[in-house]
Amino acid sequence: MNAIARSKTAWKGFAALLCLGLMIPTQAHAGILDIFSSIESTINNTIGKALTEIKTVQTQAQALYKQALWPVAAISQAQSYVRSTINTYRGWMTTVYRLPISSAQLSNPKQLESMFLSGSGNSINILQMHAGYAATYGALPRTNSAPSPVLQIVDMNDALAKDALAQTMASDQANTQMLALADQMENGAASAAPGTSPYVSASALTATLQTQAFQLNLLASQLREESGQLAHQNARLKQAVTGRNQLNQNLQQMLSTNR
């Protein structure tokens, strides 16, 4: 309805101008035609030339982008190389990552192994890992069943072992997420639009930093295990020294009693 109304209004205006033109004397007709001719000349010559020049500049800029900044041939070649690499290696690498490496045969060790190879570090799996660890390696002895230093060493060794297993579970989960992200980035690189390479590069650098953070986290876990092992050996030496001192005191007491 709006379009019809505008059309009617335009025709009414044109009719009014036509009537006005018929009512104006002949000399006035010539003046109006001169004005129309001047307007038409301005549109065709001045504005038309400017528009043509703008279009020419735009065409030249697009050609420069395609040849220098975003060379279409080079981009197509790079995308073809990425697709070829994906088709060649992704299936093989996926098979390698999913190789069955579990080897435990007894019931309790199989349960423990399935937990720390689950690739998931959520709280439920970690609790199940703790239960499988106790079922495989035994629970902590009672307080009165062993000397206090021995209980403390055993408890700390269990804690270090469980912490390391939980860390590997979280690392496997992060590794799966990073592999999925890598696949997405490869797929994006295979179909990236010209001019988006800086964003793809920034995403790749961010993923690299995340991977390095995971590696440092695992290195810290390994250092904790090494320090725990050194502390365990040192505790054994301390116990040996304490035992020898106690033996010397007992011998001296026996000798003094026999005199």
- Tens digits of residue pLDDT in 79-95: 788 888 888 888 888 88
Please give the average per-residue pLDDT across 242-256, as a whole number. 84
- What is the percent of the chain where pLDDT is above 90? 8
Q: What is the pLDDT of residues 230-244, one digit of tens each?
A: 888 888 888 888 888
Contact status, residue 72 vs residue 194, Cβ threshold 8 Å: yes
- If you write DSSP's letter for every residue of 196-218 in order, what string do you get? -HHHHHHHHHHHHHHHHHHHHHH
Q: Indicate the average pLDDT of the chain.
A: 78
Q: Which tokens hold the place of 223?
A: 């250092």
Q: Is the pLDDT of residue 133 over 90?
A: yes
Q: What pLDDT sits at residue 45? A: 64
Q: Is 170 exposed, middle or buried (0-12, 13-18, 19+ CB in 10 A)?
A: buried
Whether the Cβ atoms of residue 132 and residue 106 lie closer than 8 Å to each other? no
Q: How confident is the model over 191-208, as pLDDT tens digits?
A: 777 667 777 788 888 888
Q: Where are the alpha helices (DSSP H) in 138-196?
A: 148-190
Q: How confident is residue 132, by pLDDT bands cut at 50, 70 and 90?
A: very high
pLDDT at 141: 87
Task: Find how far residue 128's CA is from the centre of its chain.
Answer: 28
% pLDDT > 70, the chain: 76
> 86: Cβ–Cβ under 8 A, 6 or more apart, which residues?
186, 187, 190
As to burial, measured by CB atoms within 10 angstroms (0-12 exposed, 13-18 middle, 19+ buried), residue 115 is buried
Q: Provide the whole-model pTM.
A: 0.61
Q: Which amino acid is at 162?
A: K
CB 112 within 8 Å of CB 133: yes
pLDDT of residue 134: 92
Helices (H) and strands (E) in the chain, counts: 8, 0
Look at residue 149 in the predicted model and tell me its pLDDT. 85
Domain boundary assignment for the chain? 103-139, 144-258
106 falls in which pLDDT band (50, 70, 90)?
very high
Q: Does 27 score more than 80 pLDDT?
A: no
**Residue 52: both structure tokens together:** 């043509």
pLDDT of residue 28: 46
Contacts with 242 (C-beta within 8 Å, 6 or more apart), sequence order = none
Does the pLDDT at position 38 exceed 70?
Answer: no
pLDDT of residue 215: 86
